[in-house]
Amino acid sequence: MPKARAWKDALYHEFARVGKALASPRRLELLDLLSQGPKSVESLAHELEATVANVSQHLRILAQAQLVQSQRSGTFVIYRLAHPHIVALLHQIQAVSEGLHAEIREWRQACLSDRDALPPVTTQELQQLIASGDVYLIDVRPAAEYAAGHLPGALSVPLPEVACHFQHWDDSRPIVAYCRGRYCLYAQDAVEILRQHGVKSRRTEVGVWEWPGGAPVE
Amino acid sequence: MPKARAWKDALYHEFARVGKALASPRRLELLDLLSQGPKSVESLAHELEATVANVSQHLRILAQAQLVQSQRSGTFVIYRLAHPHIVALLHQIQAVSEGLHAEIREWRQACLSDRDALPPVTTQELQQLIASGDVYLIDVRPAAEYAAGHLPGALSVPLPEVACHFQHWDDSRPIVAYCRGRYCLYAQDAVEILRQHGVKSRRTEVGVWEWPGGAPVE
DNA sequence: CAAGTATTCTCTTGATTACTTGAATAGGGA
DNA sequence: TCCCTATTCAAGTAATCAAGAGAATACTTG
């Protein structure tokens, strides 16, 4: 039945177009950054510490696979994910990868836990804290990412400004920092900065877009 | 901060190992077949209409990414998925791909619907039918895949045997055929065979492993 | 132990991909 | 209109990957 073979070949060829787009570390990191909100080529290149030309080419490949869309805004070109499902796909890959390759778990432990005095805040805990309202919930990502979506009740305190803000705060309320996700070090760094100023704080277990209630509020 | 870059590079490199494994149509089809149950290299090569050597190499790549595991059984080597999460990852890729590339939907419509007199059975409908017990629910996949897991109450009627079995059945009970999934033509073929014998039947909308209740019973 | 077979390994060829560098394009602001 | 800047294009090189053919391996069965 050669007809059935042709149909299957075409079908899996299409699926592999998505697979090929996910086959490069650079492109996975680009998608991860774009999951935090729309960004320009230049800012993506800066975050990746890669050349603009290189990032531009990777974005072209992602656009050909229709995983991202671009849109001109002034002199910049702004890229965004083409569909919210892609965030779920990313997390699925990361989950499978972490499930299969124990070294990732170990790295994460090594990077995140040994510097961390206090254990991270679990999702349930944070939900209770938000409901009670008695918490400084700080979003330590860049302000643009906060603007693209954040947890309910969160304050935007980008990492470089953490050291300035806390001084005017009530000492008795707990401080909880969150960032891009499981593999982002920003919240970890914020907690460390605060600790060096003698202020206790904790980070969340997961990032914004892993929040169970779905998309965060604007 | 070059240390953070090194950590990120290593991390996304690991994620990309999974991505690279998913970047080939052949490997995606292999994973899809393995999601139906463990199989030998030879039977996989036969289904893919590829050489054994070629399939063996693709399996090696999948094994290096730790997506599949092998185990010797007699003179055969049996491969299986390393983790049930991988099925979810596959379906996620297919969903994103189908969401982005409209042509896949069109192909599927063209292949599946025009030959089909009766509309497919929805998941809710089938659940009601199974609960009532008043249905011939036939699993038209190869017997080995039925053995590896099937829907509750299903009969194993491999495609080549469909023409023999139906004759002893009660005409008044409805017949519903299911197969590997959304992109498998077996159930479609079974319905067509039955129609040529003057018997009405329908196929399900989804396959075994897309069943909402999770893994099927043994 | 020997024969037979399923599977894997090795090597080669051709094709695809990644990254860099330098030039070109295309808007926006003066 | 002209310049300025963000982005893209193009060319070249190094590296990686896909697929096939044939040899080698590993295991079972007699």
pLDDT for res A214: 58
Mention the CATH class of domain A111-210: alpha beta
Of B20, B28, B88, the CB nearest to A12: B28
Contact residues on chain B for A26, CB-CB shorter than 8 A: 12
B22 touching A (Cβ < 8 Å): yes
CA angle B108, B112, B114 (to 5 degrees): 115
Closest CA of chain B from A152, distance in Å = 28
pLDDT tens for each residue of B93-111: 999 998 887 778 888 777 7
pLDDT digits over B17-65, tens only?
999 999 999 999 999 999 999 999 989 998 898 889 899 999 999 998 9
| Identity of the residue in B20, B28, B89 whose CB atom sits nearest the CB atom of A96 | B89
pLDDT at residue B217, as a whole number: 61
- Is domain B108-210 annotated with CATH 3.20.20.70? no
B112, pLDDT greater than 70: no
Backbone angles phi, psi at A77, to 5 degrees: -110, 125
Q: Considering only CA atoms, name the residue closest to the C1' of nucleotide C8.
A: B56
pLDDT in tens, A195-212: 888 888 999 988 877 777
CA distance B75 to chain A (A): 28
* Residue in B111, B164, B179, B184 annotated catalytic: B179
Q: Name the nearest CA neighbour of A98 among B27, B11, B62.
A: B11
Q: Is A160 on the interface with B (CB under 8 A)?
A: no
pLDDT tens track for A77-93: 999 999 988 999 999 99
Confirm whether B2-87 and B108-210 share one CATH topology: no
Residues 167-196 of B with CB under 8 A from A: 183, 185
Whether B184 is a known active-site residue: answer: no
Alpha helices by DSSP H, listed for B65-196, are 85-100, 102-112, 123-132, 143-147, 162-165, 186-196
Note the CA–C1' distance, A150 to D27, in angstroms.
Answer: 59
Give the integer Cα–Cα distance in Å for A146 and A165: 16
How far is residue B61's CA from residue B192's CA, in Å, rounded to a whole number?
38
Q: Is A112 on the interface with B (CB under 8 A)?
A: no
Amino acid at A84: P
Question: For residues A176 and A32, what is the distance between their CA atoms, to the nearest angstrom?
Answer: 23
Domain spans, chain B: 2-87, 108-210
Q: Which nucleotides of C are covered by protein (CB under 7 A)?
A: 4-10, 17-23, 26-29
Q: Which residues of B touch A66 (CB under 8 A)?
A: 100-101
At residue A137 the predicted structure's pLDDT band, cuts being 50, 70 and 90, is very high
Dist CA B140 CA B7 (whole Å): 49
What is the distance in angstroms between the Cα of A170 and the nearest Cα belonging to chain B? Answer: 32
Please check whether residue B77 touches A, CB under 8 A. no
CA of B27 to C1' of D18 (A): 12
For domain A2-87, the question of CATH label 3.40.50.300 is answered with no
pLDDT in tens, A42-54: 999 999 999 999 9
